[in-house]
Structure 1
Amino acid sequence: MNEKIYKTMSATGVSSLILGIIAAIAGVVTGVLMIINGARLLKRKSEILL
């Protein structure tokens, strides 16, 4: 019984860790893309306001 609980907790911990890493990477990528797009908008600001 205890071995079954240990395996379940271990699998849950590993999956939570993997999902956390994926979420952090996705957040960083999204942030970088938003900065790049914002810089493009600021660069072409004079063209947009004409």
Structure 2
Amino acid sequence: MLTSITKGKRVMNTSPALKIEEALGLEEGYFMILQVYYNIEQEKKDE
């Protein structure tokens, strides 16, 4: 799962994000915020 996400083959969604954040002791929502920024950059490239 994590490898698929880091290679761009799969997007981050809430369930794995929460699990990874908890395991790493990160603030909830950290990875979802990164995913949104990534999506914005991809959209800009596509325009």
Larger Rg: 1
Structure with higher helix content = 1
Specify which structure has the bigger relative contact order, considering alpha-carbon pairs within 8 angstroms and separated by 6 or more residues: 2
Range into which the TM-score falls when normalised by the shorter chain: 0.3 to 0.5
TM-score where L is the length of structure 2:
0.43
TM-score where L is the length of structure 1:
0.40
